């Protein structure tokens, strides 16, 4: 272990390793998941096709949240307008019934879109853990390259298979360079 691998007295978040490109990162991520590591994350300057499957991520449940919110918006708009026109302010116009749903369609449509958009935005923020103003990777001097040409794999210390020495050797055997300890 070099000087960057010597842990200090602070809590260890995990290990970070840099890879040469998207192919080696994808291969290393697949091998890491196959080895039994589950608390892993990959960082790259652009989306890497297949990285979600390599990380073992399933399909997002965000579409279900958006569907629920759109149906909630439609029902809320319809029930609000029905109550207002039939109970609070009943008017008979052209012998139409109090509860004329055809007149409510524009408001129902707009409220459906509004609730669906709120569900999508706030659901995405919640699933991504945002806003996150600090992450232990920000302390790594080599992680600054992630927005330019850096491809990184992080294995968290809370993973059940994590062992500082063995995990460091594992990342090196996968072709990782600049293996560092991330402190929390």
Number of CB atoms found within 10 A of residue 124's CB: 14
Structure tokens at 81: 């307008």
Cβ 55 vs Cβ 40: under 8 Å? yes
Stretch among 6-15, 57-66, 70-79, 156-165 having the lowest mean pLDDT: 6-15
Domains and CATH numbers, the chain: 3-59+134-183 (3.30.70), 62-127 (no CATH)
Largest Cα–Cα distance in the chain?
A: 86
Judged against a pLDDT cut of 60, whether residue 1 lies above it is answered with no
Judged against a pLDDT cut of 70, whether residue 5 lies above it is answered with no
First to last CA, the chain: 20
Q: Mean pLDDT throughout 49-63?
A: 94
Tell me the percentage of the chain whose pLDDT exceeds 70: 95
pLDDT 10s digits, 126-162:
999 999 889 999 999 999 889 989 999 999 999 999 9
Residue 98: exposed, middle, or buried by beta-carbon count in 10 A (0-12, 13-18, 19+)? middle
Structure tokens at 86: 């039939």
Q: What is the pLDDT of residue 92?
A: 80
DSSP 8-state symbol, 11 = P
Q: What is the pLDDT of residue 9?
A: 59
Judged against a pLDDT cut of 70, whether residue 105 lies above it is answered with yes
Alpha carbon of residue 22 to chain centroid: 20
Cβ 174 vs Cβ 31: under 8 Å? yes
């Amino acid at each position: 272990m070099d000087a960057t691998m010597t842990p200090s007295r602070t809590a260890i978040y995990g290990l970070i390793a840099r890879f040469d490109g998207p192919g080696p990162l994808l291969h290393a991520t697949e091998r890491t998941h196959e080895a039994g590591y589950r608390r892993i994350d990959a960082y790259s300057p652009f989306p890497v096709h297949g990285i979600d499957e390599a990380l073992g991520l399933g399909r997002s449940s965000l579409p279900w949240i958006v569907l629920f919110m759109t149906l909630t918006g439609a029902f809320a708009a319809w029930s609000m307008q029905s109550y207002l026109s039939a109970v609070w302010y009943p008017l008979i116009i052209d012998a139409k019934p109090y509860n004329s749903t055809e007149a409510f369609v524009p408001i129902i449509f707009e409220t459906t879109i509004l609730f669906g958009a709120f569900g999508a935005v706030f659901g995405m923020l919640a699933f991504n853990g945002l806003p996150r103003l600090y992450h232990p990777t920000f302390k790594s001097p080599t992680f600054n390259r992630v927005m330019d040409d850096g491809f990184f794999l992080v294995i968290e210390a809370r993973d059940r298979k994590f062992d500082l020495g063995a995990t460091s050797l594992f990342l090196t055997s996968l072709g990782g360079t600049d293996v560092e300890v991330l402190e929390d």
